[in-house]
Structure 1
């Protein structure tokens, strides 16, 4: 019976979660494996698309003649059993298509059009070499190869005799160098060396070195030049004479810019030891157990993670550690790298595509056994997981805001169940959902209530900016904060100042008519950027010149309102002319490696003040920082979002924790126009437990998570009426399909109703148990594919992080 492949095809419109049946050519039978990528003909024309093999069978319900697979893109599966099962679960829970989930898991090099080369290993026989690699060099693996050749190469790959190397066709992301290897035996090279020694001493030096090389191993030409003390011209001459051959040698792109000094495990205090013992017992027992490590800032959570990882590695298992965003990665990666050395791989969007691909391959081949990375690293192809750690688990950046709309925490918990290993969620301010699960006993709660070495938490002062404005003219700094900054500068200590807004000022307004310059594509005011002398939209990227005359009333009374990091930087420099200031926001960290460079400068005390947005609030550990200032604590409180208080409390607690982490005591100043708000009062006291109880009461009154589950549906179109009409139709379908226990809010325009020339309407469903919800949402998703061709986009977001 002929073999049939079940293929998930990657087509932009009218997708399906059901695979299509394709005939496997006889030469490839029993060679094609589940998890490989293939090229198949699709539709009535001559269109070809890529797809993934998700099953193999010898029967099909299709009664016509099956089209054959046109080409195999891989010699080995790019998805293992675990990741295929994970893709199915992800598609089911996020209302995304399986092929979209699979694409999300793969590195960019495997998503784009790639050039595939098969290269021989050292174990090929002369006959096999002559058959498949007649010119001795790696060969392109294209869809033009005949089936017999492909079948032969597949057999060689399974025997470990060849391997596949992927390269982007324009080669821009591939780093190669010239490699050389001897073509003659050591005896023959020695004979030639004797002949040329007198007339060509440099050639003799090269021949002497060639005798020391392994016969089938490529060595970088630059290394040979250095070791043999010869010029590249001598090597070229040797190649012309047939003594050696040159071939491209891929260079591993190491994302670690400089070596890290190794560290040893630190002595644990009693609370840390209790936590490590509990986690280690779960690792040893191969138990699926979820832990919440709730530790105040500076309590030594990272050391708990490192010593728990060591336990998994001792058992021959692997570890996965997630950090929320690139800004956090350099310091955390360096600490993990310093403890575990070459076994560590790093995955995050700050790496080049080539670096990401090289790291992904190291993980896939089992060369890296500890993976550290941001959100998408949760899909790393690491096998035999012994522990999964998620640092700062409350962070919103763990939620993906495009399809598939997954939360990394949910994926981590799934992988923990699959691998029968513990998942450790760590935070000083856990999300209410996680803390509530711990309260129910679903997670084991481990508390680190004290800072390491019993250092006190910083003293936190709340500055009422209403009173400050009565006494002083309008400004960004209160008198107490200015005095505290001057004291730190006098003492040669460092400080961190946080502002929740990048740019120069938040908006430009005419004082005569009140006109505010808005983005032509979005319902939002443009932000002033003095470095580029432009007004920018932070949603769509639109830029235009700074106006000097009001476009509405032609008045010249244009003024800047609000405060951005650039404006504060200028004001700070004016107030403290000798202070060295580093600014860290999205604008100052666009270039690759900018985060790490700024933090390194600050760590080496090349600056006194680190000024930044939210990205400086978390994970930074600098012993000389004794002052933290929050310039405007109210930024998030005013947002129409049920998590506004939680985010404000978390942010203030996290940023306060940057002060006084070593022997010097720390101090925090929080400037606010809402000094009596419970989130700000409890952040001052660093009292998470009281905040948890207070906020849970508020959530219960409002029927919000974690008491209810939530789903957000959004419709968008360039024509507002089209978007609104679609959303009203969706609401009608929901009311017909769901029980009267479900709470349906909307439809309403989104808080920012227009972005990138599209109008957005939304509806939010709150529910406790809805048996029919999944089929109703599946029906809505399928129905949305036809109008999607005409520009109407419908999205489904399970457990949204905000309703804005």
Structure 2
């Protein structure tokens, strides 16, 4: 027998899989989806069995040993790997690493044993202090020195392969057929009619000593079982009365629980979408089915967990948790040990024993598109729902234009929650900052916003301020020669951070120390230009010196736990004014009377066809944090009061209609599909020549394709954007471009979700 094995090498240069001989003693044991240890060149690697077959003309080497005792990739995960390969054009070996969690990935180690310490020379003499030293990736730095030491007999090298984290086990106690004698002992014995952990036994009032006594007597046996870390339900009674709209939403989706159908649950802020989630999950739990809820971040995961947990067992996969914790939750879903899994888009590949519904909360958020723009999370969730024949619910107060468009065409069912659970009144005020200047107000705060914050503070209430721009200023400028520092890697203008006196690239993270003297001409007239959230914080503290003010952005939340702690402090009224980027706008259940929205004009001018949609969503989502349980006012400051996005804030249908009309005229999704083709060469000229040549070929052969560019997009990188009809299949066309242009000194990559134009 033979196995096709996908070897664990993250590179596009090797083929998808290789044939290996299955040793006779492993025939029947090895299964599809298990990992095995195989020889590969002069290395030993782990690989995934993708096929088992009876014949092979290519197999010359045998599998060394199994790495897993059971398959880690099931039929659905194989399907998702194939989907990524076909739709996102990701090589299968790279798709595998997207699907499998980091905790199950493999570490390759070199175990160095010192045989003759006198023969060691530097740097090994200093490195190998102990007789046995384990190296991971760092061994490559000293590979030539190691080889010389091996040749001289000074050291020996062995290879070790470990999984980053392992499945944990714990003791469970179960009664045997031997009945104990005393009444108390019999009570414990009867209690253990199913396996229980020692913690559960002690919580029920029995002593550890009694357990140990019955174990010695043979009345209780000990079993090793996988450790499952979940939040168990407290079995609270669900006494909350549903609104009419909530009842109708639950009923409509319940009717489709055993079939594939897509729903758009469009609910205004504070309309009770989470209660709809709870009712659906409880219904599924009765049918022994599981639910997956996707949300955006740590704070929203915790908010959802606290809401669902009294009624259901819940596991969470949070990127901020440890690898072991994430693996435990992954296994709880995979083995069917939990009713609900709550995770971020990073956990959308988690396998389930019996998945019954997928809920994509805050479905409008850009985090559903991964960092490489290769696959959209909502598309992947749709594929999972279709494969499992279950409903998919997109939930949002401000749905993406694409989903709204699909709903109008009947491709998914629109369910609306238009009424707030608490009947509070909202007020929107758009302030023209040009008039503020004309009236002599040079402050970043308009008079209406200043007055509203002041009143709120006097009433011992709070305010939330959106300033969606990181840093102190967007850039620094030399007023003598006009020089603006840019990123060495991607030529992007560097953002200035006052607190750390650093200049930082907003895209790749490159940073450098801020120098008050110009690097180009030596002048000392380098000054920050524009405004960022750090500057807003400084001004707010000057304006309201007695208020407790906090800031939430990428800088302040870089340390684990700060984000959640700040959100909790604000909810507990320990912070008077919270200033934040877009992370404060999504789904948080705040109870505040005032929301201020600053620095919105730059978003409307972003070089993206999604700029209007994202700006509209951000404003509406932030407005939704006010007036949830008390009357609220949202004040938007702008220099563009005539912009249709701002005029549409109280005319939702008008926004979608106008934005769809604009996209149809400009040939953008949902009417057209976009494909970015990015060339990277040894030089900028090489990348530009390749992009220009391809553009000419496309124009001459494909009249139905519209080509934008080429334009410089990164260091040694040029990009074309192709606009094509929505139904055209580009897979074969893309493959031919890859074969022609992808060479050793020139790479070409394709992105379906690149919105920068």
Task: Give the TM interval when normalised to the shorter protein.
Answer: 0.7 to 0.9
**Structure 1 residue matching 2:255: 3-state secondary structure:** helix
Matched residue, 1:796 = 750
Separation in structure 1 between the aligned mates of residue 442 and residue 477 of structure 2, nearest angstrom: 17
Conserved in 1, the CA contact under 8 Å of 2:672 and 2:724?
yes
Cα root mean square deviation, aligned = 3.7
Task: Name the residue aligned to 2:551.
Answer: 583
Q: Indicate conservation of the 8 Å contact 1:15/1:97, yes or no.
A: no
Alignment partner of 1:400 out of 370, 373, 380: 370
Q: Decide whether aligned partners of structure 1 residues 299 and 554 sit closer, same or farther in structure 2, where only a CA change above 3 A counts.
A: same
Q: Residue 347 of structure 1 aligns with which residue?
A: 317
Distance 2:293 2:692 in 1: 43
Q: Does residue 674 in structure 1 map to residue 640 in structure 2?
A: yes
Is 1:653 the counterpart of 2:620 in the alignment? yes
How many angstroms apart in 1 are the aligned matches of 2:386 and 2:729? 26
1:759 aligned partner: 716
Distance 1:305 1:250 in 2: 29
473, 476, 481: which one pairs with 2:449? 481
SS at match of 1:710: strand
Q: Judging changes above 3 Å, is the alpha-carbon distance between structure 1 residues 217 and 777 closer, same or farther for their aligned structure 2 residues? A: same
Match of 1:137 in 2: none
Match status 1:706 vs 2:670: yes
- Structure 2 Cα separation of the partners of residues 369 and 71 of structure 1: 36
8 Å contact 2:234–2:309 — kept in the other structure? yes
Aligned partner of 1:243 in structure 2 is none
Structure 1 counterpart of 2:702: 739
**Does the 8 Å contact 1:175/1:253 carry over to 2?**
no
Query: How many Å separate the matches in 2 of 1:715 and 1:333?
Result: 44
Aligned to 2:123: none
Match of 2:381 among 408, 412, 435: 412
Aligned in 2, Cα 1:250/1:291: closer, same or farther, shift over 3 Å? Answer: closer
Distance 1:701 1:260 in 2: 55
Aligned: 1:108 with 2:62: no
Residue 692 of structure 1 and its aligned partner are, at CA, apart by: 0.6
Residue of 731, 751, 775 corresponding to 2:732: 775
User: Which residue does the alignment assign to 2:249?
Assistant: 275
Cα distance in 2 for partners of 1:676, 1:609 equals 29
| Mapping 1:169-188, distance limit 5 Å | 169=162
Q: Residues 370-449 of structure 1 correspond to what in structure 2 (within 5 A)?
A: 370-402=340-372, 405-449=374-418
Q: Distance in 2 between matches of 1:692 and 1:486?
A: 35
Within-5 A mapping of 1:63-462: 65-113=59-107, 169=162, 264=238, 266-283=240-257, 286-340=258-312, 343-402=313-372, 405-456=374-425, 458-462=426-430
TM-aligned CA distance change 1:484 to 1:168, over 3 Å: farther
- The one of 688, 711, 729 equivalent to 1:748 is 711
5+ long unaligned stretches in structure 2: 110-159, 180-187, 213-221
Whole-angstrom distance in 2 between the partners of 1:263 and 1:91? 46
Deviations 1:481-518 (A, max 9, x none): 11110000011111110001122222222233332232
Q: SS at the partner of 2:351?
A: coil
CA contact (8 A) 2:552 2:580 kept: yes
Query: Offset of 1:546 from its aligned partner?
Result: 2.4
Greater shift after overlay, 602-611 or 261-270? 261-270
Q: Indicate which of 665, 682, 685 corresponds to 2:631.
A: 665
In the alignment, the residues of structure 2 paired with residue 67 and residue 76 of structure 1 have an alpha-carbon distance, to the nearest angstrom, of 23
Q: Note closer, same or farther for the CA distance 1:313–1:733 as it changes in structure 2 (3 Å cut).
A: farther
The answer (yes or no) to whether the contact 2:103–2:163 under 8 Å persists in 1 is no
In structure 2, what is the Cα distance between the partners aligned to 1:174 and 1:9?
21
**C-alpha spacing 1:328/1:714, structure 2 compared with 1 (3 Å):** farther
State the match for 1:161 in structure 2. Answer: none
TM-score by length of 1: 0.79
Shift of residue 31 of structure 1? 1.0
Partner of 2:568: 600
Q: Verify the 8 A CA contact 1:5 1:22 in the aligned structure 2.
A: yes
2-structure distance, mates of 1:483, 1:594: 30
Contact 2:375-2:753 within 8 A present in 1 as well: no
Relative to the length of structure 2, the TM-score reads: 0.83
- The whole-number CA distance in structure 2 between the counterparts of 1:367 and 1:552 is 63
Distance 1:248 1:306, change over 3 A: closer
- 1:542 alignment partner in structure 2: 510
Aligned partners of 1:176 and 1:366: how far apart in 2? 16
Q: Compute the displacement of 1:732 (Å).
A: 5.0
Does 1:505 find its partner at 2:473?
Answer: yes
Deviations 1:4-25 (A, max 9, x none): 2122223343456753222111
Give the Å deviation of 1:398. 0.1
Q: Give, in angstroms, the shift of residue 718 of structure 1.
A: 5.6
Tell me whether 1:524 sits opposite 2:492 in the alignment: yes
Q: Contact 1:297–1:428 (CA<8 Å) still a contact in 2?
A: yes
Q: Shift in Å at residue 600 of structure 1?
A: 0.8
8 Å contact 1:95–1:781 — kept in the other structure?
no
Counterpart-to-counterpart distance in 1, 2:353 and 2:697? 43
CA distance in 2, matches of 1:176, 1:314: 29
Q: Is the CA contact 1:507–1:526 (under 8 Å) kept in the aligned structure 2?
A: yes
CA deviation profile, 1:85-142 (whole Å, cap 9, x unmatched): 1211221111111222221111112113289xxxxxxxxxxxxxxxxxxxxxxxxxxx
Q: Contact between 1:325 and 1:397, CA under 8 Å: does it hold in 2?
A: no
1:163-184 superposed Cα distances (whole Å, 9 cap, x missing partner): xxxx99598x679899999xxx
Post-superposition offset of 1:432:
1.1
Q: Give the number of aligned pairs.
A: 691
In the aligned structure 1, how far is the partner of 2:339 from the partner of 2:687? 48
- Taking the aligned partners of 1:620 and 1:320, their CA distance within structure 2 comes to 20
1:27 matched to 2:25? The reply is: yes
**Secondary structure in structure 2 of the residue aligned to 1:366:** coil
> Is the Cα–Cα contact under 8 Å of residues 678 and 749 in structure 2 kept in the other structure?
yes
Aligned partners of 2:429 and 2:9: how far apart in 1? 57
Deviation per residue, 1:725-783 (Å, 9 max, x gap): 332344355457x6321222222223xxx3xxx23311111111565621121233355
- CA offset digits 1:208-237 (Å, max 9, x no partner): x9xx999x99979xx99x99899xxxx9xx
CA distance in 1, matches of 2:553, 2:247: 37
Counterparts of 1:57-68 in structure 2, within 5 Å, are 57-60=53-56, 62=57, 65-68=59-62
C-alpha deviation, 1:383, in angstroms: 2.7
In the alignment, structure 1 residue 636 sits paired with structure 2 residue 590: no
